[in-house]
Amino acid sequence: MPSRRRTLLKVIILGDSGVGKTSLMNQYVNKKFSNQYKATIGADFLTKEVQFEDRLFTLQIWDTAGQERFQSLGVAFYRGADCCVLVYDVNSMKSFDNLNNWREEFLIQASPSDPENFPFVVIGNKIDIDGGNSRVVSEKKARAWCASKGNIPYFETSAKEGINVEEAFQCIAKNALKSGEEEELYLPDTIDVGNSSQPRATGCEC
Amino acid sequence: MLESELHDLSDDADYAASQQQGSASMMLRSDSTKQNSPRDGAEVVFSKENVAIHPTQFASERISGRLKLIKQSSSLFMTWIPYKGHSSEARLSDNERNLYTIRAVPFTEIRSIRRHTPALGWQYIIVVLASGLAYPPLYFYSGGVKEFLATIKQHVLLVRSEEDANVFLVNDFQNTLQRTLSSLELPRAVPLACGPSNMSVDESILNENQERADNDVNNGSSSVTHFHRRPRQKVDPARDISIQVLEKFSLVTKFARETTSQLFRENQSNGFSERRTPIQTNLDHPRRSSHVEENTSDESCHALDSQEFDNLSLVWGKPRQPPLGSEEWLIFLDSEGRVTDSEALRKRVFYGGLDHELRNEVWGLLLGYYPYESTYAEREFLKSVKKSEYENIKNQWQSISSAQAKRFTKFRERKGLIEKDVVRTDRSLPFYEGDDNPNVNILRDILLTYSFYNFDLGYCQGMSDLLSPILFVMDDESEAFWCFVALMERLGPNFNRDQNGMHSQLFALSKLVELLDSPLHNYFKQHDCLNYFFCFRWILIQFKREFEYEKTMRLWEVLWTHYPSEHLHLYLCVAILKRYRGKIVGEGMDFDTLLKFINELSGHIDLDATLRDAEALCICAGENGAARIPPGTPPSLPIDDGSVYAQQDEIL
């Protein structure tokens, strides 16, 4: 029986207010889009079962409030994250400029064991708006920033139209899984042996 | 039906008689200043502070005082003197205070003392006199019932009733019960719970309580349901007498009657079920009978840890009333429109809320925008003055040209943030729905104007949630703005950059749960949940996302009365958590699961029941609760106005 640590993958979605964090999460999990989402207060999460190489995982996707003022809450929500998704709106330069703040804030508050290699994924959302004519952040610019931060995977999506959302989250899940496994190697103590009827080495084979 | 709020005893012949009797037999002047200097050999053998009565059915109205046992030669006397001018007490005149004062009553005139330990709440006693009269229940807010009884036992013959271990008969030389029965010439006591025949005034209350009790039973352990099907096997005369006595003579108030009938029901269920609280067996269990426990305030709180939380509202929480309507509203106003008794109004709104049509007129008063003592004309005048003041502030940002805005990043960003939020605030409501809805624009204008009025605080997410119902109710831009300003005077710190308002409320909440539900507190502690972030949304926007719109407005007007506490919303949090403690602990929820669970409670919380529970918890916690809330915690007005919204390094 695999331990909880191995089956639950925790993902945090961060980014400025109104870039579409809740919409992305809902599009991925529920395949739905609504114009009526309310601003997220506090935090919430959705879960989705994902399969990799015959193994089932629960992806726990955390949606948080986007206003900077609420960042002090992060410490409670970010801990134990396996992957962090940074979202910006391709029609808003400020939301892109803020990616760096979000990334740094996350690393400070989540304090992952290996910050250099902690997996991030960047999403440029709302590519559908105005047929792309109101776009102010070019893909090139975004990719350049991602490259400079240790080759962060980059996706451009439309949560409204469901474009590229599945692909982005596939990548997110894969990275989270990798991160989880690495963490296991580094921190074997976090394995919950109490719940495991078999030695760890063979646990994942079940 | 508007219930009479204060049960005036001055016209009560029975009470007057008892007072006379009391003075006639009074041998001591129990003036509090002279109590400690024995005179004529009088000696205070027992003294207990914070023993209180509840003069009305409103649990929040209590009169605290000092209970004493005084020994003079071979006689023992009991006195209870209310404190004078106690700030936290209900407003009671000296006359009323005198009315309830128990001047030295000799134990030769006391028939029995009934001790009662509610599942939740404070222990109290009912003293029944030989004449058949009974004093209102005396609540021991600082514990000490056991010590009280022990002291009596040292001086007079005190025998525990064979029928009921909680009834102590005084000077019981022979069959006191029969003697009492015959002396009272009462018919065989009829158990109240079986047929509340003489409860006309409180019938609705009782019925409602009974319904609730039934519901609770159905939801609760199955052992109690047996009781309802089984016939009573044994009638306890002592218990029946005390109830009968309380009923027969209207010395006790409605509230006492409620508690007494509840007491009766609880006893019945105790007789037939296993749902006993530990404290009820206090004297029978040596391991639980130490003095220390009884004398600390924590001991009283221990009772609150009981599983039988739902019973609490039966004892304490007053049934909700219908909302205040237009006709009744006029009663609160003088001919020129002044609210003559703002406390009575606040109390009325607390227990029932407002008819929607009245909200427009009353919210401004509740929020403190209009003074209660203002006349119709003064309010109209204020309205026009404030309207032009609003226009002036609004003009500050309206006059920003696009060229200026280009060079004014902070303004653009603030405006952008507000625009993003207003288009996703309550858009499914007819008032805000549809494209180009003018009310959405008004929402934006008010928020932007507010961010100029209070530039340091600016705009923060959640504000649009708070403004939305206010604009809906006021239906006037300037009026909505000023009501919002008044609300933000109290809730502003919730939105502060350092989140200090939120942190102090979450801290206070953890302290209140520690006080009112220590098992849950311990559970949260073990599971690393003491930051209470899962209650963040509840507190930040005052449960706006947890209830449907109408219920939110009801809750808010109730909270804005600040009756019985400014921080009732925190007790509301405790009440909900307490209600679901079984599930939370039973399912072993960790922080994540708990947060999800709390978020998904949205739309499933019974407002009226929760308000009653919250009121009950607030009353039970009393000053112990208030002491756990740091000064200045929203919605208390900030302590230091100067530096509330001190600017820090942030862009918006």
- The beta-carbon contacts of B419-424 under 8 Å, at least 24 apart in sequence, are B419/B444, B420/A17, B420/A18, B420/A39, B421/A17, B421/A18, B421/A39, B421/B447, B421/B461, B421/B463, B421/B464, B422/B447, B422/B464, B424/A35, B424/A36, B424/A37, B424/A38, B424/A39
Residue B334 pLDDT more than 80?
yes
Please name which of B259, B297, B224 lies closest in space to residue B117, comparing C-alpha atoms.
Answer: B259
Tokens 């395949």, residue located:
A31
Give the chain A residue whose CA is nearest to the CA of B535: A42
Q: CB–CB of B537 and A94 under 8 A?
A: no
Give how far A74 is from chain B: nearest CA, Å: 10
pLDDT-based confidence at residue B328 (cuts at 50, 70, 90): very high
Residue among B591, B599, B650 whose CB faces A68 most closely: B650
Please name which of A174, A128, A120 lies closest in space to residue A147, comparing C-alpha atoms.
Answer: A120
Residue B120 pLDDT more than 80?
no
Give how far B393 is from chain A: nearest CA, Å: 25
Residue-wise pLDDT tens digits, A27-58: 999 999 988 889 999 999 999 999 888 889 99
Residue B548 makes CB contacts below 8 A (sequence gap 6+) with: B603
Residue-wise pLDDT tens digits, B359-418: 999 999 999 999 999 999 999 999 999 999 999 999 999 999 999 999 999 999 999 999
What are B314's two structure tokens? Answer: 């039966």
What are B387's two structure tokens? Answer: 């309207």
Residue-wise pLDDT tens digits, B31-72: 444 444 445 678 899 999 889 887 665 556 678 889 999 988
Q: CB–CB of A38 and B462 under 8 A?
A: no
Delineate the domains of chain B, giving CATH numbers in brackets.
13-315 (2.30.29.230), 326-495 (1.10.8.270), 500-626 (1.10.472.80)
Q: What pLDDT, on the 0 to 100 scale, is given for residue B641?
A: 52
Residue-wise pLDDT tens digits, B134-147: 777 888 888 889 89
Give the chain B residue whose CA is nearest to the CA of A77: B592
Burial of B277 (0-12, 13-18, 19+ CB in 10 A): buried
Residue-wise pLDDT tens digits, B423-477: 999 999 999 999 999 999 999 999 999 999 999 999 999 999 999 999 999 999 9
Q: What pLDDT, on the 0 to 100 scale, is given for residue B47?
A: 93
CB atoms under 10 Å from CB of A152, counted, come to 20
A41 neighbourhood in chain B, CB within 8 Å: 461-462, 465, 536-537, 540-541, 545
Give the chain A residue whose CA is nearest to the CA of B600: A44
What is the percentage of chain A residues whose pLDDT exceeds 70?
A: 84
Residue B590 makes CB contacts below 8 A (sequence gap 6+) with: B527, B529
Question: How far, in whole angstroms, is CA B434 from its chain's centroid?
Answer: 41
What is the percentage of chain B residues whose pLDDT exceeds 90?
A: 48
A159 neighbourhood in chain B, CB within 8 Å: none
Least confident of B38-42, B185-189, B219-223, B611-615: B185-189
Q: CB–CB of B533 and A76 under 8 A?
A: yes
Is B599 in the A-facing interface, judged by CB distances under 8 Å? yes
- This model of the complex carries an ipTM of 0.86
B residues 474-533 closer than 8 Å to A (CB): 495-499, 531, 533
Give how far A26 is from chain B: nearest CA, Å: 15
Q: Which of A10, A12, A41, A105 to mutate to test the interface with B (most CBs of B within 10 A)?
A: A41
More confident residue, B415 or B8: B415
User: How much is the average pLDDT of B310-327?
Assistant: 71
At B28, give phi and psi (nearest 5°): -120, 150
More confident residue, B359 or B498: B359
Is B548 in the A-facing interface, judged by CB distances under 8 Å? no
Give the chain B residue whose CA is nearest to the CA of A20: B420
Q: Which of B420, B421, B507, B543 to mutate to test the interface with A (most CBs of A within 10 A)?
A: B420
More confident residue, B238 or A13: A13
Q: CB–CB of B461 and A45 under 8 A?
A: no
User: How much is the average pLDDT of B321-344?
Assistant: 96
CB-facing half-sphere around the CA of B604: CA atoms within 13 A: 8
Least confident of B339-353, B500-514, B636-650: B636-650
Sheet holding B124-129, edge to edge: B102-106, B75-82, B63-72, B43-53, B138-140, B124-129, B110-116, B167-170, B158-160
Residue B1 pLDDT more than 60?
no
More confident residue, B631 or B288: B631
B421 neighbourhood in chain A, CB within 8 Å: 17-18, 39
Q: CB–CB of B536 and A94 under 8 A?
A: no
Q: CB–CB of A42 and B592 under 8 A?
A: no
Q: How do beta strands A120-125 and A83-89 pair?
A: parallel
Residue B497 pLDDT more than 90?
no
Residue among A41, A72, A73 whose CB faces B545 most closely: A41
Give how far B278 is from chain A: nearest CA, Å: 35
Cβ proximity of A119 and A83 under 8 Å: yes
User: How much is the average pLDDT of B548-557?
Assistant: 98
Give the chain B residue whose CA is nearest to the CA of A44: B596
A60 neighbourhood in chain B, CB within 8 Å: 592
pLDDT-based confidence at residue B85 (cuts at 50, 70, 90): low
A69 neighbourhood in chain B, CB within 8 Å: 460-461, 495-497, 499, 650, 652
Kindly report the CATH number that applies to the domain delimited by A4-203.
3.40.50.300
Is B223 in the A-facing interface, judged by CB distances under 8 Å? no
Residue B553 pLDDT more than 80?
yes
Give how far B505 is from chain A: nearest CA, Å: 14
Q: CB–CB of A69 and B536 under 8 A?
A: no
User: How much is the average pLDDT of A62-87?
Assistant: 89
Residue B376 CA to residue B372 CA, distance in Å, equals: 10
Give the chain A residue whose CA is nearest to the CA of B651: A68
Question: How far, in whole angstroms, is CA B73 from its chain's centroid?
Answer: 44
Helix (H, G, I), strand (E, B) or coil at B78: strand
Q: CB–CB of A39 and B461 under 8 A?
A: yes
Q: What pLDDT, on the 0 to 100 scale, is given for residue B173?
A: 53
Q: CB–CB of B498 and A72 under 8 A?
A: yes
Cα distance between the two ends of chain A: 6
pLDDT-based confidence at residue B20 (cuts at 50, 70, 90): very low
Q: CB–CB of B462 and A41 under 8 A?
A: yes
Residue among B536, B596, B652 whose CB faces A45 most closely: B596
Residue B476 CA to residue B156 CA, distance in Å, equals: 71
Q: What pLDDT, on the 0 to 100 scale, is given for residue B317?
A: 62
What are B208's two structure tokens? Answer: 């409602």
- A64 - beta bridge partners? A43
Most confident of A111-125, B218-232, B244-258, B306-320: A111-125
For chains A and B, CB pairs below 8 A equal: 77
CB atoms under 10 Å from CB of B43, counted, come to 11
What are A148's two structure tokens? Answer: 């400079």
Domain boundaries defined on chain A: 4-203
CB atoms under 10 Å from CB of B262, counted, come to 23
Q: Which of B536, B540, B598, B648 to mutate to test the interface with A (most CBs of A within 10 A)?
A: B536
Question: Which residues of A touch chain B, with CB atoms under 8 Å apart?
Answer: 17-18, 35-39, 41-45, 60, 65-70, 72-73, 76-77, 94
Per-chain mean pLDDT for chain A: 86
Cβ proximity of B323 and B355 under 8 Å: yes
Residue B196 pLDDT more than 70?
no
Q: What pLDDT, on the 0 to 100 scale, is given for residue B380?
A: 97
Radius of gyration from C-alpha coordinates of chain A: 17
CB-facing half-sphere around the CA of B568: CA atoms within 13 A: 23
B432 neighbourhood in chain A, CB within 8 Å: none
Please name which of B140, B115, B125, B145 lies closest in space to residue B51, comparing C-alpha atoms.
Answer: B140
Residue among A38, A65, A73 whose CB faces B424 most closely: A38
- B125 - beta bridge partners? B115, B138
Most confident of A59-73, B173-187, B393-407: B393-407
Q: CB–CB of B533 and A43 under 8 A?
A: yes
Q: CB–CB of A38 and B497 under 8 A?
A: no
Least confident of B96-100, B514-518, B607-611: B96-100
pTM of the model: 0.65
Residue B647 makes CB contacts below 8 A (sequence gap 6+) with: B456
Helix pair B500-516, B568-579: axis angle to 10 deg: 50
Residue B458 CA to residue B407 CA, distance in Å, equals: 18
B498 neighbourhood in chain A, CB within 8 Å: 72
CB atoms under 10 Å from CB of B112, counted, come to 27
- B354 - beta bridge partners? B324
